[in-house]
Amino acid sequence: MPAQSLNLATDVVELTRAICDIESVSANEKALADVIEEALSVYPHLEVTRDGDAIVARTNLGRDRRVLIAGHIDTVPVANNLPTELREINGEEHLWGRGTVDMKAGVAVQLKLAGELVEPNSDITWIFYDHEEVDASLNGMGRLSRNLPELLKGDFAVLCEPTSAIIEGGCNGTMRIEVETFGVKAHSARAWMGQNAIHGAAEILNRLNQFQTQEVEVDGLVYKESLNAVLISGGIATNVIPDHAKVTVNYRFAPSKSVADAEAHLREVFAGLAVKVTDASAGARPGLDQPAAISFIAATGLETRPKYGWTDVARFSALGIPAINFGPGDPNKAHADDESCPVAQIYSCEEALRKWLSA
């Protein structure tokens, strides 16, 4: 039996406080997962499945559309910011404390509506998962997609990560490459005997300087791309002509491009140079042209903008499910010691999702 229990019918801000005050730093989600599982299990309209500390609750009404609504239940380490408090900040009421922004206010909205929406207009898969704030190999949603892939089927997904309660579509992809130049070592007193690889790297920097940042429209949102040198190395001693230099380049690319497209593009930009891909993650299309998204925007009248950072919406995208980010709290306050979420945003997210799912 869990130590505490949750009443999902309670006020959503109270619910946020209750789940924030059950500390759940990554790898310590069990106590919170236990109360969430117990609270969801009392509802006959939900089929509840648990995998580790991830919980999936599904309606099975035979609707012609299924939406996935997901949030992670772990937080980064506590920094003297629990238990939560209601505080007035800049004249506005906030819930202060670890997890209020990232992302238990979003999780509380999910929990509240999971209990309340007995007859939603779409079938809903509510996903609560563990280990988001740590190494990607531990990510609870990644594990769910390997262990129980049938539970992650759907037509559209909403990730309730903080967006200040506006709709942020998809996310940019990211790729890192190493571009190398080679030369011939020699004593710097007789430099003409060698060939300087660091001077050769100027060509890499020239091409980066010439690169025009692209803006790419994807499903109605404009994504800004970027291509930047982020590390540079070369040389072995102050009297040796270097025979090797390396520039690490990070490419943030629009979600309409696959990882293969991004690589092909970089090989073109750096044609004639040695290019090695060191890591890559595809972005996620915003899917704002999908009927579920169109109805979401219509029901809520909310503003939409592109998401530039990589988020777990890309995991949905990899499963072929268009996804958006939508949740209470300013993402700039995530992980901050003074993490705090405007109470009004928690209510507005609750109201927006309720309106969309019951319209």
* Whole-angstrom distance, CA of residue 251 vs CA of residue 165: 28
Packing angle of the helix pair 343-358, 291-300 (nearest 10 deg): 130
> Mask 235-254, x = binds Zn ion (CB under 5 A)?
--------------------
Q: How many Cβ atoms from other residues are within 10 Å of residue 183's Cβ?
A: 19
> Quick one: which of 286, 319, 279 has its CA closest to 304?
286
With CB under 5 A as the rule, give the number of residues binding Zn ion: 3
215 vs 338, which CB is nearer to Zn ion? 338
* Closest to Zn ion by CB, 102 or 225: 102
For Zn ion, the closer of residues 26 and 172 by Cβ is 26
User: In the bound complex, what is the minimum distance in angstroms from residue 139's beta carbon to Zn ion?
Assistant: 11
- Backbone phi and psi for residue 141, each to the nearest 5 degrees, phi listed first: -75, -35
| 8 A C-beta contact, residue 21 and residue 100 | no
Opening angle at CA 31, ends 26 and 36, nearest 5: 100
If the CB atoms of residues 242 and 329 are measured against Zn ion, the closer one turns out to be: 329
Q: Which is nearer to Zn ion, 34 or 161 (CB)?
A: 161
Q: Which residue is nearest to Zn ion (CB)?
A: 102
- Tokens 């690490």 locate to 248
Residue 130 annotated as catalytic? no
Options 29, 34, 74, 339, the catalytic residue: 74
- Return the percent helix, strand and coil in the chain, to nearest 5: 35, 30, 40
Shortest distance, CB of residue 126 to Zn ion, whole angstroms?
17
The answer to whether 267 and 259 are in contact (CB under 8 A) is: no
Shortest Cβ distance from residue 316 to Zn ion (Å)?
A: 15
For the bound state, the minimum distance from the C-beta of residue 133 to Zn ion, rounded and expressed in Å, comes to 7
Q: Give the helix ranges, DSSP H, for the chain.
A: 12-20, 30-41, 105-116, 140-147, 197-200, 202-210, 259-269, 291-300, 313-318, 343-358
Q: Which stretch binds Zn ion (CB under 5 A): 5-13, 98-106, 238-246, 301-309?
A: 98-106
Active site residue 85: no
Does residue 102 touch Zn ion according to CB under 5 A? yes
Q: How far is the CB of 69 from Zn ion (least distance, A)?
A: 15
Considering the candidates 123, 132, 155, 263, report the single residue annotated as catalytic: 132
Find the binding residues for Zn ion in span 150-209 (CB under 5 A): 161
Which parts of 61-80 interact with Zn ion (CB under 5 A)?
Answer: none
Residues near Zn ion (CB under 5 A) are 102-103, 161
Annotated catalytic residues are: 74, 132
